Amino acid sequence: MSPFSLSGKVAIVTGASRGIGRAVSVGLAEAGADVALVGRDRTALDETVAAVAAVNPQARTAVFEADVTDAAAVDAFVAATVAQLGRVDIAVANAGQAVDGLLMRTKAADFAKMIDVNLTSAFHLVAAVTKPMMKQRAGSIVLMSSIVGVSGNAGQVAYASAKAGLLGLAKSVAKELGSRNVRVNAVAPGIIETAMTESMPEKARAHYLASIALGRAGTPEDVSGVVTFLCSDAARYVTGQTVVVDGGFLM
Q: Which residues are catalytic?
A: 159
Are β-strands 34-39 and 139-144 bridged in parallel, bridged antiparallel, or unpaired?
unpaired
CA 203 to chain centre: 28
DSSP class of residue 156 equals: B
Going by C-beta distance under 8 Å and a sequence separation of 6 or more, which residues neighbour residue 40? 17, 65, 66, 67
Task: Give the H or E element holding residue 237.
Answer: none
Cα separation of the two ends of the chain = 35
Rounded Cα distance between 231 and 161, Å, is: 26
- Rounded to 5 degrees, φ, ψ at 140 are -135, 125
